[in-house]
Each structure stands twice: as structure tokens, then as C-alpha cells.
Chains A and B, each alone.
Chain A
């Protein structure tokens, strides 16, 4: 097991808004390290002449015509909101 040197589990946990215990950090650091190790192996493959792609199948232009359809009612839209006021979702005050 080799942990990738660039892996900063605290940073990653913070970006993902995850509060991890030290034991969890150790577990995930190892697992993510193995993933990165695997990627490192993949990056050794010679891909000269291979076109980069984000998708495995050559499917393009999946779209719909711009015709508006009915959406959710306000009641349905807010059904999962733990707090709401004035037909809006109330969240702890956030200032950018």
C-alpha cells in the first residue's frame, strides 16, 4: 500500500463538508490513496494518438426542443425543506 504523496485528507474532507474522525481519516486516506495509485498506473499507459474523451460511447447532442412544461407546485417544491418562510427555503444566514 503506497499512499499518494499529494493526498491531503483534511483538505479533501473540508471541501466535501465532511467531519471525519481520526480513524475515518486513516481509512479514507488509505482508500483514496489506493485509488490515486491506480490512476498513477493508468497514467503510465501510452495514449499517443488516442483522442481524449469524457464519455465511453460516441453519443452527442442529446437535447430537447425549448418547450416549457409544468413543474412542481410550491408546496411540493418545499416539501423537503426543514425550514421555510414566504414560500422560500430558510437557511442559516449566509454572506458570500
Chain B
């Protein structure tokens, strides 16, 4: 893994145009808004939530009725500090609240409570993985440095009609984190990986569900281009409404190409805000809001500052889970799992925990088999039956027991697949199912097995010759008749051992 130095344009994206003189590099910074999962709002205790009837989650503070006073939500503070710790930020010992003043109907107060010059989290970095050369190959890892994370309140939702706009204040006042990256990304792929990593981190930490369709995770991108090798920043365009993870990649890609096209034509880029439409894959300039950025911030006199001491931080640090990439490195080291398995297992915390429980129950040397069953069979079964890990009848103990049965040669692979399907339906343990359905390899009489093996060797001269000349896999041709004689129930380990013993004696 290598650290990303934003001053060094390490990634020359595939933006090279026909002229070798005009090779551009994109410089991208993301502002990611994450709604914190709390019961009540940031500065008042009316319920927070999504999908409720319009204007049913309001109270005097949300509506800014005269005399209403804000009071902080302790859980939201815990959550943002935890987010900061997970992303390696410095937690400010003291921070305060500021009013960001603007007139827009999404904010009943005509200001939004936010943090201006004293964010609660400073610095930090997000580890990302870029796509590898193939699906089963790990890609390059980088750390994208963060500028800050601050806490604020979400605003209401406007529904634009033909002649007027309708305002719903249910969302207003929901705790909202803004995670600001340095302008340190250089391609849409990096931005995509960055957002994916933040999303996984927040879900792992229990900080947010990050459902983009519900607006729990939102992303704006600041994008500019410059000739490769240049160190100055070009004219910045802010791209808004990147409302799904794939829109983030497509929208940024589109904007980079648009900027290059403008410059190649001899045009000049203007600093503006553009709106990306993911449905059409196009963007349009939003009328620049004159003086929109003159927010006249000042400290909110209604809210006292926040002081975070070492004890508070330590308590939250103790609650911080192992993050996906760290888990992936540990899975590789401890269980010798291939990337094709870890890259599926670690991104879902419940799935990773499930795997570890099953692998531990199965015992040493069986983790990969456990991982294979989970990634290849269990996930397919869950998808087909519209179940989740929590509602599946197959528990880690089932997987572990099945792996042990196969490993001991008690059941054969094709019988194990049948057992698996039965486990999913009944929740019975594999041993019980194998007995009930007669799927166990028969406890073969050694003499009988040896007779079958001798018969197979006697009639399989070609395979014997090949085996003797060094082609080890030729032994498989000799196993078929034995299994047939045993009606498919011979222990394959014993068959293999017996054949090898007899062949060696020839």
C-alpha cells in the first residue's frame, strides 16, 4: 500500500488526448454528507426519520418558532467522534457551533447550524482500493487525505411543482456530517472507491445506514483539470446531485471530459455549479447564485461549545470496529484466504462475523472451505430465497459441520451440495440430514473395497500405464468403477488410499 501525496500527480488517468502536449490530470475533492442514525434530531428531541407523512416530524425548534432553543443530541456527537476516530482524524478538544446565514425555504430559521472554523474532526484519511487487473486480483491501495469532518443539521426537502414549491420539514434538523476531502483524487474511479470506502466505514461503525436512495449519503464533487505535471489548481467546477454511487463515477467522468473538451476547443472554464442528471448522463450549469457564498457565519449564541476529553474519546475508541481493509489483511494472514473470498466477505460486517464464527468452529485448515461455502453457496441461496444472513436457517455451526463431514470423507461433494439445500430448507444439522437421506459415504468393508479396487485396476490397463508413467491424475479414471460398485457411497479418501497402495505394489 502506498500513501497518496496530493502534490504528486501519481495517477495519469486515461485522459490523454491525441496531442501529446495536452495531457490532463483531473483534481477532485469530494464533500460527502452523511446523515447520522439517531432517534431524534440534532438540536431537538422530535423524532428523526425517513418516509413519514410530510411535516409530521416537526416541533418548535425545527420550525424556528419564536423562543425555541436548540439542545445538542449526545448520540450524534458520539457518532461523529467515532467516525473521526475510524478515519484517523484529530478530535478537536473544543469546538463550537456557527450560524450559516442564507434565505431559502428549506431552512425555516434562515440559517443552518453548522461548524465554520472549529470542526470537531480535523485531518484523517480514507483508505481506498482501486480496481485490480481482474475481479480476483487486489487493486492498488491509497489513502485519500481528509481536510475535516464537521457536524451540522440537515435542511428540509423542497418538492418543485409547475408553479410553486412544496416544503416538507421532516428532514430539517436531522444530524448531518460533512466529510471534506483534500483535492487529492485524480479519477472518477478514485472518487468511486473513496465513496464506497466511506460508506462501508460508516455502516461498519453503526454511524449511518448510508442509503443513497433515502438521502442518507449525498455527494458533491469539486473538479478541475490541469496539465499533467502542473502543481497549480485549475478552475473548479462544483458538481451537485451525485445521488447514487454509480452517478458519482459517471458524473465525474463526464465532467472531466467536458472540461477537457472546453479547453481543447480553446475555451475558458468558468467557476460554476453544475447539476448532473444521472438519467441522461448530462450536466447543466445552475444559475450562479449571486453572493451565495457570503454566508455571514457567526457563533451561535444559543449553543455552548463542545469539549471532548481523553476519557470520552477512549470510550468511543473502544467501540470502534475493525474496518474492512484491516479485516481483509487479517483474513489473508490468519486464514490464508484468497482475495476472491476476502473481497466478498469483509464488506458486510455481519457476513465477515459469520465467516469467522464458522471458520473457528470448523477448526484449523478449513477456513477456505468455509469461505467457499459461504461465498459460493450460502450467498446464492440467500439471494434466491430472498433471505438475509440473520433470517437464514443455515447458521455458522451448519457450515462448519458440513465442511468437517466433507473433509473427513464422510460425505462426498455432490452429497454435500444436496445436504446444503436441505439445511437451508430445514435448519437441520448436516449429520442428521446425511443419515436421514442416506447420503453418507458407506462405511465400506476394507476387503470389499480392495476387491473393487483390484477389479478396476485389472480392467483399466490404460489408466494404470499412464499412472505408472507419472500422470498422477490418471488415477481418477480408476476411481469411477470403484464408486460405481460402491453405489457412490465409498469414502473417496479410502478409495484413493487403497488404489495408490495397490498400484504402488504392482
Closest to A55 in B: B304
Name the prevailing secondary structure of the A interface residues: loop
Asked if A89 is at the interface of the complex by the 8 Å CB criterion, the answer is yes
Beyond A78-B55, A93-B164, is A66–B304 a contact (Cβ under 8 Å)? no
Q: Name which of B146-154, B165-173, B326-334 contacts chain A.
A: B165-173
Shortest Cβ distance from residue B238 to the other chain A in the assembled complex, whole angstroms: 12
Whether A87 pairs with B53 at a CB distance below 8 angstroms is: yes
Give Cα A70–Cα B44 distance, bound, in whole angstroms: 11
Q: Are B304 and A94 in contact, with the CB atoms below 8 A?
A: no
Contact between A66 and B40, CB atoms less than 8 A apart: yes
Contacts of B39 in A (CB 8 A): 66-68
Which A residues have a C-beta under 8 Å from some C-beta of B? 11, 14-15, 17, 54-55, 59-72, 74, 77-78, 83, 85-96
- Complex Cα–Cα for A96 and B160 (A): 11
Q: Which of A17, A61, A85 contacts B103 (CB 8 A)?
A: A17
Known A-B contacts A68-B40, A70-B46, A88-B159; A60 and B306 likewise in contact (beta carbons under 8 Å): yes
Inter-subunit contact B299/A54 (CB<8 Å): yes
B residues sitting closer than 8 Å to A (CB atoms) are 38-40, 45-48, 53-60, 62-63, 71-77, 94, 96, 101, 103-105, 158-169, 286-287, 289, 291, 294, 296, 299, 301, 303-307
Complex partner residue of A77 from B55, B94, B101, B289, CB under 8 angstroms: B55
Contact of B54 among A17, A70, A74 (CB under 8 A): A74
B58–A71 touching, CB < 8 Å: yes
Q: With A54-B299, A60-B304 as given contacts, are A91 and B294 in contact (CB-CB < 8 Å)?
A: no
A93→B105 CA distance, assembly (Å)? 10
Look across to chain A and name the residue whose beta carbon is closest to the beta carbon of B110: A17
Known: A69-B45, A71-B47, A89-B55. 10 other contacts (CB 8 A): A54-B305, A55-B299, A63-B71, A66-B75, A68-B45, A72-B46, A88-B167, A88-B168, A89-B105, A89-B166
Q: Which residues of B contact A17 (CB under 8 A)?
A: 103
A75–B201 Cα distance when bound, in Å, is: 40
A-side contacts of B303, CB under 8 Å: 62
The residue on A at minimum CB distance from B162 is A93
Inside 8 A of B48's CB, which chain A residues have their CB?
68
Pair B55/A85 contact, Cβ less than 8 Å: no
Across the two chains, which residue of chain A brings its CB closest to B57? A71
What residues of A have a CB within 8 angstroms of the CB of B40 in the complex? 66-69
Cα–Cα, bound, A77→B63 (Å): 8
Contact status B304-A90, CB under 8 Å: no
Q: Are A87 and B158 in contact (CB under 8 A)?
A: no
